[in-house]
Structure 1
Amino acid sequence: MDTELQRLQHLGFFAIFKESYNIIVSWWRKLFFQIFLALILPFCFLILANMLISDHLSGKIINNHVNLDDTMSFYPSYNRIKRELVVQWSLLGVFTLLYFLIGLIGFYLFSISAVSYGVACFYAPKDTNFKQVIRVVPKAWKKLVITYLLYCFIQFVCIVVFIALIAICILMGMARQIVLGIVIGVIVLILFIVGLIYFNVIWSMASVVSVLEEWYGLGSFRRSLDLMKGKKKLNIWVYMVFQVLFSVVQGGYWVLAGLFNSSLPIVVYVIVAIFFFVLFLGLVLLGFVVQTVLYLVCKSHHHEISGKSSLGDQLDGFLGGYGRMGERERSAIRTSWSLMC
Structure 2
Amino acid sequence: MERAQEEMKYAGVFGIYRKGHQVMAAHRNIFNQITLAFILPLCFIYLAEMLISEILFSKQPSYIFGQNTYKHTHHLPVYIIFNLAYYTFLVIFSLLSTSAVVYSVACIYSNRTISFNKVMGVVLRVWKRLMITFFVIYVFTFSYVVIAVLTLNLCLAIGGTASLVLFFIFLFMYIIGFVYLTIVWQLAAVVTVLEDFRGVKAMNKSRKLIKGKFWVALTIFIGLSILVAVIQFMFYVFVVYADSWAIWKRVLVGISCLVLLVPIFLYQLVLQTIIYFVCKSYHNETIDKPAMSNHLGAYERLSDPDEVQMEQV
How high is the TM-score relative to the length of structure 1?
Answer: 0.83
**Counterpart residue number, 1:242:** 224
**Counterpart residue number, 2:39:** 40
**Aligned Cα root-mean-square deviation (Å):** 2.7
Partner of 1:60, secondary structure, is coil
| 1:128-157 deviations in Å (ceiling 9; x for gaps) | 211111111233211111111111111111
Q: Counterparts of 2:47 and 2:162 in 1: how far apart (Å)?
A: 42
> Does 1:198 pair with 2:193?
no
Structure 1 230/331 Cα, relative in aligned 2: closer, same or farther at 3 Å? closer
Structure 1 34/229 Cα, relative in aligned 2: closer, same or farther at 3 Å? same
Gapped regions of structure 1 (runs ≥ 5): 72-80, 324-328
> Does 1:121 pair with 2:107?
yes
Shift of 1:188: 1.3
Determine if contact 2:50/2:240 at 8 Å carries over to the other structure.
Answer: no
Structure 1 130/154 Cα, relative in aligned 2: closer, same or farther at 3 Å? same
Q: Counterparts of 1:110 and 1:332 in 2: how far apart (Å)?
A: 26
> Does 1:301 pair with 2:282?
yes
Determine if contact 1:17/1:290 at 8 Å carries over to the other structure.
Answer: yes
**Counterpart residue number, 1:74:** none
> Does 1:112 pair with 2:98?
yes
Structure 1 332/136 Cα, relative in aligned 2: closer, same or farther at 3 Å? closer
Determine if contact 2:20/2:274 at 8 Å carries over to the other structure.
Answer: yes
Shift of 1:232: 1.4
Determine if contact 2:301/2:307 at 8 Å carries over to the other structure.
Answer: no
Q: Counterparts of 1:306 and 1:97 in 2: how far apart (Å)?
A: 40
> Does 1:172 pair with 2:158?
yes
Shift of 1:265: 6.2
**Counterpart residue number, 2:214:** 232
From the CA coordinates, give the structure whose radius of gyration is larger: 1
Determine if contact 1:126/1:312 at 8 Å carries over to the other structure.
Answer: yes
Structure 1 304/194 Cα, relative in aligned 2: closer, same or farther at 3 Å? same
> Does 1:312 pair with 2:299?
no
Gapped regions of structure 2 (runs ≥ 5): none
Q: Counterparts of 2:253 and 2:17 in 1: how far apart (Å)?
A: 25
Structure 1 87/21 Cα, relative in aligned 2: closer, same or farther at 3 Å? farther
Determine if contact 1:2/1:308 at 8 Å carries over to the other structure.
Answer: no
Shift of 1:117: 0.2
> Does 1:275 pair with 2:256?
yes
Partner of 1:126, secondary structure, is coil
| 1:90-145 deviations in Å (ceiling 9; x for gaps) | 111111111111222x1111100110000000010101211111111233211111
> Does 1:211 pair with 2:211?
no
Shift of 1:60: 2.7
**Counterpart residue number, 2:80:** 93
How high is the TM-score relative to the length of structure 2?
Answer: 0.89
> Does 1:102 pair with 2:101?
no
Partner of 1:86, secondary structure, is coil
Determine if contact 2:190/2:276 at 8 Å carries over to the other structure.
Answer: yes
Moved more, 237-246 or 304-313: 304-313
Shift of 1:254: 1.7
Instruction: Tell me how many residue pairs correspond in the alignment.
Output: 310
Determine if contact 1:43/1:103 at 8 Å carries over to the other structure.
Answer: yes
Determine if contact 2:17/2:271 at 8 Å carries over to the other structure.
Answer: yes
> Does 1:145 pair with 2:131?
yes
Q: Counterparts of 2:56 and 2:310 in 1: how far apart (Å)?
A: 56
Shift of 1:24: 1.2
**Counterpart residue number, 2:272:** 291
